[in-house]
Amino acid sequence: MEKKFKESEIRELESQLSLPSGQMGIEVGKKMNETNIGMTLNSIDFLELKEESSVLELGHGNCGHLEKLLGLAEGVRYFGLEISETMRNEAEKNNSNRQAEFKLYDGKNLPFANNFFDRIMSVNTIYFWQNPEKLMQEIERTLEYNGICVLTYADKEFMKDLPLVGEKFKLFDKKDVEKLVSMSNLKIIAFRDKTEFVKSKTGEQVERKYTMAKIKKVKA
C-alpha cells in the first residue's frame, strides 16, 4: 500500500528537493538519482562529449551517473557544483575513485574562468535557480565558443499539478526557456522531447514529459 503524505510532509519534501540536507537529504538524493537517471543519461548523450572535454554540471546531486559520463570519451574532465553541502559530500563519497572535482557555490556565480568549459549540463535544477538571468549569463561566460550546454527540465504542464510543486518551484516551458536564453549570447540549436513512466517523489506512478534544450555559445 502506498503511503499517504500529509501536507506538511509534502512541503518538507519540496524543501529537500530544492536544497537537500541532513539524513533526509541523503535519502532524497538517492531517490532523485533513481527517478531522474533516465533524464540524466539522455542529457549526457545529448551533450555529444568528445575526447578531452571539460564538463561542468550544475546541481549534480549524489552524482551516481558519473561513471557513465566519464566512460563516453577519453580524457573527460568533470567539475560539479552544488548549493547543497550534503549532496556535495555524498558525490565525493560516491566517486572517491574517479577523476572529478566537486565544489559548493552560491547558485548564481560560477567560480571558474571565462571560456573554461566546452560542455555544461544541468538536469531538474532550473526550477530552483534564484536568479536565472544571472546564472544564464554565467553559463555564457564560462562556456567556450561553440561549446554546448544542455538544460533538462520536466515540462510546465506536467509539473503544475504535482502535489510537491509549491512556491519553491518556478516552472518552465519552451517559450520560457527561449526567453531566458535570449537574455544572453547563447543560442538554442535544438529541443528534444521525451516521455517516461516513473514513480513520483510522493509515490504515484506518473507519465513524465520532459524537454532537453541544447544551447550553443556563438559570436555576438
Find the Cα–Cα–Cα–Cα dihedral 206, 38, 45, 109, rounded to 10°. Answer: 90
Model confidence pLDDT, tens digit, residues 147-187: 999 999 999 999 888 877 888 899 999 999 999 999 999 99
pTM of the model: 0.92
| Residue ranges of domains in the chain | 7-217
CB 187 within 8 A of CB 215: yes
- Which of 3.40.50.150, 2.60.40.10, 3.40.50.620, 3.30.530.20 would CATH assign to domain 7-217? 3.40.50.150
Q: What is the pLDDT of residues 48-97, one digit of tens each?
A: 999 999 999 999 999 999 999 999 999 999 999 999 999 999 999 999 98
pLDDT bracket for residue 2 (50, 70, 90): very low
pLDDT of 204 over the 50 cut: yes
Write out pLDDT tens, residues 89-146. 999 999 998 889 999 999 999 999 999 999 999 999 999 999 999 999 999 999 999 9
| b/e per residue 144-163 (b: at least 16 CB within 10 A) | eeebbbbbbbbbbebbeebb
Question: Confidence band (pLDDT; 50, 70, 90) for 197?
Answer: confident
Strand ranges (DSSP E) for 77-220?
77-82, 100-104, 117-123, 143-154, 186-199, 205-217
Tell me what pLDDT residue 203 has. Answer: 65
120, β-bridge pairs = 56, 149
- Do 119 and 47 form a contact (C-beta atoms < 8 A)? yes
Q: What is the pLDDT, as a whole number, of residue 194?
A: 96
